[in-house]
Amino acid sequence: MPCRVIVARDFDHMSEIAAGILVEAAREALAHKARCALGLATGNSPTGLYAKFAATANKGALDTSRIRSFNLDEYVGLPGENAQQRALHPESYSFFMTANLFGKLDRTFAETSVPWGTLVDVDRLDAELKAHPGDWIAIRANAASAYLRWIREAILDAYERKIEAAGGVDLQVLGSGEKGHVGFHEAGIPFEDSRMLLVRLDENTIENAVKDGHFASRAQSPTYAVSMGAELIYRARTVLLLANGGRKTDVIAKSLLEEPDCSVPLSYGQIYVQRGGNLICVVDRVAATGLISAAGELARRGVELDNRS
């Protein structure tokens, strides 16, 4: 299937277009099976999409009680004495999803899943990683650390199995970091063996979390996360990428105009399309600046550019 880029006027227009695509994909999936599975992302880019999706669903456009969802990632190391307190922290992605989507629906999803990063004790994790550096970063199946083996088996592998048991993801909502990270598959992490990851966050990711007001300082920001990796993210039948603003201009262009490379994880989308995946990018005209100016090269690469701005 080709890659399609839709250029929107602004954030609201981007959200409107993306919500329409998401609603239609869910309706189409539910026409052929009892339940559909949506992959969900956090961050600013999908907030408008979620609000419009909920408003449309609440008008009866689709039965959200037949939808299950799987989020991309969750922080490890949020404040809290136990997993429940950490999951309820206002910067947890469980909290984000409740505030921006789940709590807005009149009919709740059949099931919602967020990677179980809040189960990890970050102090013990730090100690185990220092004691067993060879087990890091992709946790080995035969890791010397029993705690790291537990993280792999009970948190990483178990989440992947849960997605597989649901029949895979029908449509994955995706945003992008400034350096092209997808979920918390950070720049430089190899594509191979990247289905589920325990990640030490990139300095740029932490800096942006502070800059965007999520945490008061670097010291208060988590430095680890549990995340789907590119290999698992791009197993979805359709991937819907959203990007807006000048911070994303360069990386969006690189992801589609340069050869795929793990230095820009978002570029895995090209591999996904080559393997038959359906990639739809909805970007505002600021984020699309580099794509619009390279329309000829996009066409040569088989990318359809639909400028609605």
How many helices (H) and strands (E) would you count in the chain?
13, 11
Q: How confident is the model at residue 70 (pLDDT cuts 50, 70, 90)?
A: very high
pLDDT in the model for residue 133: 80
Which residues are CB-neighbours of 291 under 8 A, at least 6 positions away? 5, 7, 252, 253, 256, 257, 283, 298, 305
Mean pLDDT taken over the chain: 95
Mean pLDDT (whole number) for 207-216? 90
What are the φ and ψ backbone dihedral angles of 112, each rounded to 5 degrees? -125, 140
> Domain residue spans in the chain?
3-122+160-307
Which stretches within 35-182 are classed as H helix? 47-58, 83-87, 93-100, 122-131, 146-150, 158-165
103 vs 216: which has the higher pLDDT:
103
pLDDT in the model for residue 62: 95
Q: Are 267 and 226 in contact (CB under 8 A)?
A: no
Mean pLDDT (whole number) for 18-44? 98
pLDDT in the model for residue 135: 67
Bridge partners of 278, per DSSP, are 238
Residue 284, class by beta-carbon neighbours within 10 Å (0-12 exposed, 13-18 middle, 19+ buried)?
buried
Closest CA to 174 of 55, 275, 70: 70
> Hey, what CATH class is 3-122+160-307 in?
alpha beta
